[in-house]
Chains A and B, each alone.
Chain A
Amino acid sequence: MKRTHLGKYLYTALGIFFTAMMLFPVYWMVNASLQSGASAANTSLVPDHPTVAAYSRAFSEQLGNLGTSLLIGLGTVALTLVIAAPAAYSLAMFRVRGSRLITVALLIAQMIPGVVIANSLYPAYASLGLLNNIPGLVLADATTSVPFAVLILRTFMEAIPLALIEAARIDGASHFRAFISVVLPISRNAVITAGLFSFLFAWSDFIFALTLTTTNSVRPITLGIYSYLSAAVQNWGPVLATSVIASVPAIILLVLAQRRIAAGAFGGAVK
């Protein structure tokens, strides 16, 4: 008895060790962002004299960019849900001819490299005046979240009993009405998950921010970090403080939707 108990804790210890190894870079990011002289070999293993100097500089330099990223993130969530939720409902509930083809198209869409899309969107955006433009970035960022959200929501909506919708229909509700007042409330958790991921995708987007902006007028936070990196970095404090700030939505997502994140790894692609 005692041996197996001890063995259990041995595994916990090993598990903590592996996790610590894996999370070391994240720790190092936080650790260094709290030290003032984070320039060279003098960074200590723990922030024994923590200072928020790097954060105040990061905020003073990046506040506008954070706002831009927030707007783009929220815009992408709205656009994605408006497009994806009805589509998922239709694919889950009506077995129309061609729905299989649409599903395959969504799977393939997830595989297309962002640089390919950026390459041809650039000239189109240039002539439509969508470069350096928040709606333009929202539309481009949704290429990551729309296929993902449709597939995730469809998987969830397939589990909704048809009888529920039939009942609403018999009560005289239109298809649209049944969707809004029956399907969406039941799917609330799945909608929240899809929304959280859409936000995270747009917030983390770098490729479209990099290619579809040409001036400093619209700069998401990822570009803020990149412009630190493309020059020789003298002081890592503000760079890492900005990185920590940019990682906050990821941490919130991990806490809020811990159990549903596994589904995110599948990208709705595996069932």
Chain B
Amino acid sequence: MTIVNRVPQAVNEFNGGSYAGAGRPPRSRRRALRSALTPWYFLAPVLAYLLLFFGYPIVKNVEMGFQDYSTSTFYTGVAPWVGFANYSQVFHSGIFTTALTNTAVFTIGSITGQFVLGLALAVFFKRKFPLNGVLRSLFLLPWLIPLIASSAVWKWILDQDSGVLNQTLLNLHLIHTPIPWLSSPSVALLAVMIVNIWLGIPFNLTILYSGLQAIPAEQYEAGALDGATGWKAFWYITLPNLRPVIGIVLMLGVVYTLKVLDIILGLTGGGPANATQTLATESYQQSFTQFQFGQGAALSNILIVISLVFTMFYLRSQRAQTGA
């Protein structure tokens, strides 16, 4: 995205798709045409794939949102046009408000936790000490493990009776009765959020750490002369310099959290009593357990609009950052 705008004339020579460089004599029109097409031969597979596996699904989803698309459609091939019926059913279903609220709480809570812990760890790892690099790469492991495998072990850790979390809390006398982490509607969302924070720390740590590395040391040296050390240095030097990176981390975090399906299905399946149902899980439930593909599509479309709003913020901040 960036270099396109920065690379000067030299690259423009290659606009025609020929490498022959400056002073290339025009051989024949056919040859020129052929070389102008060359870049598109290389791009053709990806364009075809994007059209079929992103373009088509998005268009199809919009269409399905306006259709009565259910099990019978697969037998009869008929999906009657129903206007906004799917949307009005979704809005009036009662679950929608719950799912929307849960999505907001889950997203804001997860992002806050991941970001604060990720930033604290990034600042910690900025110091030079033995084993720093090794420990930092070990931190990445939870991010690489399949989400459903992580959900499995967390489901057991959070188990009310035999889970190690409750046992530890009981042994430390912090609680007197085991907490039903995943089976009580009042704490289930919090429990799922804790797991998602754990999953998001590596991502936040990695990006924020590389952001910190990019801040020139002279700024801290100059700041120290003016008495800006410790918290003051963090507040007046680190944070302002880190702002563009923070923006990217937060916006990517939001978009990634909106999509979360694996860990919620693995840990709670959206329950108990819809306490952990989000827009993503509800869309899945409508389509793949209720076989109401029309309503599932309507929910998908709402989800995609929310994601796109944040994506646009992200793209704009990227552009602002690279000075394009």
Q: In the complex the two chains form, what is the Cα distance from A106 to B43 in whole Å?
A: 13
> Is A114 in contact with B53, judged by CB distance below 8 angstroms?
no
10 nearest CB pairs, A to B: A90-B42, A250-B144, A87-B46, A94-B39, A204-B146, A243-B149, A120-B60, A11-B129, A86-B42, A113-B259
> Is B144 in contact with A254, judged by CB distance below 8 angstroms?
yes
Instruction: Across the interface, name the chain B residue whose C-beta is closest to A25.
Output: B153
| B164 contacts partner chain A, Cβ-Cβ < 8 Å | yes
Using A143-B53, A146-B53, A244-B149 as known contacts, list a sample of 10 further A-B pairs with CB atoms less than 8 Å apart, ordered by residue number in A: A18-B124, A23-B142, A86-B41, A86-B45, A104-B1, A104-B315, A120-B297, A126-B74, A169-B19, A211-B288
Measured as residues with beta carbon below 8 angstroms from the partner, the interface class of chain B is 35 or more
Q: Shortest Cβ distance from B236 into chain A, in angstroms? A: 24
Chain A window 85-123, contacts with chain B (Cβ cutoff 8 Å), 1 for yes, 0 for no:
011011101111001101111111101111111111111
Q: A86-B43, A108-B308, A204-B147 are in contact. Are A265 and B124 (CB under 8 A)?
A: no
| A262 contacts partner chain B, Cβ-Cβ < 8 Å | yes
Q: Which of A8, A9, A29 contacts B153 (CB 8 A)?
A: A29
| Residues of A with C-beta under 8 A to B45 | 82-83, 86-87
| Residues of A with C-beta under 8 A to B198 | 22, 25
A-B contact pairs, 19 of them (CB 8 A): A43-B164, A86-B45, A87-B42, A91-B43, A95-B12, A105-B50, A108-B315, A112-B304, A116-B61, A116-B301, A117-B57, A120-B57, A146-B49, A169-B20, A204-B146, A206-B265, A229-B151, A233-B156, A246-B148
| B97 contacts partner chain A, Cβ-Cβ < 8 Å | no
Q: In the complex the two chains form, what is the Cα distance from A250 to B12 in whole Å?
A: 42
| B303 contacts partner chain A, Cβ-Cβ < 8 Å | yes
| A124 contacts partner chain B, Cβ-Cβ < 8 Å | yes
Interface positions of A from 2 to 58, Cβ below 8 Å from B: 8-9, 11-12, 14-16, 18-19, 22-23, 25-26, 28-29, 32, 39-41, 43
Q: In the complex the two chains form, what is the Cα distance from A80 to B79 in whole Å?
A: 34
| B203 contacts partner chain A, Cβ-Cβ < 8 Å | yes
| B125 contacts partner chain A, Cβ-Cβ < 8 Å | yes
Interface positions of B from 152 to 186, Cβ below 8 Å from A: 152-157, 161-162, 164, 167
> Is B146 in contact with A222, judged by CB distance below 8 angstroms?
yes
| B93 contacts partner chain A, Cβ-Cβ < 8 Å | no
> Is B129 in contact with A9, judged by CB distance below 8 angstroms?
yes
Chain B window 119-162, contacts with chain A (Cβ cutoff 8 Å), 1 for yes, 0 for no:
00100110111111001011111111111111111111100011
Instruction: Across the interface, name the chain A residue whose C-beta is closest to B128.
Output: A8
| Residues of A with C-beta under 8 A to B296 | 119
> Is A115 in contact with B49, judged by CB distance below 8 angstroms?
no
Q: Which of B144, B259, B303 contacts A261 (CB 8 A)?
A: B144
> Is A29 in contact with B149, judged by CB distance below 8 angstroms?
yes
Q: In the complex the two chains form, what is the Cα distance from A221 to B141 in whole Å?
A: 19
> Is B311 in contact with A108, judged by CB distance below 8 angstroms?
yes
| B283 contacts partner chain A, Cβ-Cβ < 8 Å | yes
> Is A270 in contact with B153, judged by CB distance below 8 angstroms?
no
| Residues of B with C-beta under 8 A to A28 | 153, 156-157, 164
| Residues of A with C-beta under 8 A to B137 | 254, 258, 261
Q: In the complex the two chains form, what is the Cα distance from A233 to B154 in whole Å?
A: 13
Q: Shortest Cβ distance from A138 into chain B, in angstroms? A: 11
> Is A226 in contact with B280, judged by CB distance below 8 angstroms?
no
